[in-house]
């Protein structure tokens, strides 16, 4: 069911410092910061030849990653995102197997403008999993 590893997301408090780590220290290509007020985050993509790292920091009040960055002030891996062809079919198959889908269970339009769902980390080896329909 799952396809490509679309990205690994790292949440940080200080996005400029995070950009410096990937751009200057690790020598990778990064995109300009993209504020996404509707998602409560500002994101920067680290472009690797086969995949991406998504650096994100909280934006505005009540950001969904606020508690995470408070617990991990130096940053931490927040989630991994796998691509699927059909997100509703994927959701229904996962639910039938007892896996928990977060939120309402209805796909939302994610940070890349595509339908996404998040799966409960306790059902996926302690890893928050995002599914993105591509």
Q: What are the tokens at 130?
A: 């995002």
Shortest distance (Å) from residue 109 CB to a copy of itself = 23
Please report which helix (H) or strand (E) contains residue 17, including its range: helix 15-20
32: left (phi over 0), alpha (psi -120 to 50) or beta: beta
φ and ψ of 106, to 5 deg = -95, 135
Residue from 54, 83, 130, 132 carrying the catalytic annotation: 130
Pairwise CA distance, residues 76 & 73, whole Å:
8
Which of 61/126 has CB closer to a copy of itself? 126
- 130 counts as catalytic: yes
Indicate the residue among 10 and 37 with the shorter CB distance to a copy of itself: 10
Nearest distance from C-beta of residue 5 to a copy of itself, angstroms:
4
**Interacting residues toward a copy of itself by CB under 8 A:** 1-5, 8, 10, 12, 18, 21, 24-28, 48-51, 53, 55, 72, 74-77, 80, 82, 93-94, 97, 99, 122-127
Q: Which of residues 37 and 117 has its CB atom nearest to a copy of itself in the complex?
A: 117
Q: How far is CA 105 from CA 11, 18, 86, 101, in A?
A: 23, 32, 14, 6
Which residues have a catalytic role annotated?
A: 130
């Amino acid at each position: 069911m799952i396809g490509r590893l679309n990205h690994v997301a790292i949440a940080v408090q200080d996005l400029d410092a995070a950009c410096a780590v990937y751009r200057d220290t690790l020598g990778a290509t990064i995109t300009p910061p993209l504020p996404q007020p509707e998602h409560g985050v500002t994101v920067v993509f680290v472009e690797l030849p086969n995949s991406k790292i998504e650096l994100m920091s909280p934006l505005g009040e009540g950001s969904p990653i606020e508690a995470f960055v408070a617990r991990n002030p130096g940053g931490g891996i927040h989630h991994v995102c796998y691509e699927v062809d059909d997100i509703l079919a994927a959701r229904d198959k996962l639910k039938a197997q007892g896996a928990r889908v977060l939120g309402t269970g209805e796909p939302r339009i994610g940070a890349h403008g595509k339908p996404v769902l998040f799966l409960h980390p306790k059902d996926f080896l302690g890893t928050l999993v995002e599914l993105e329909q591509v």
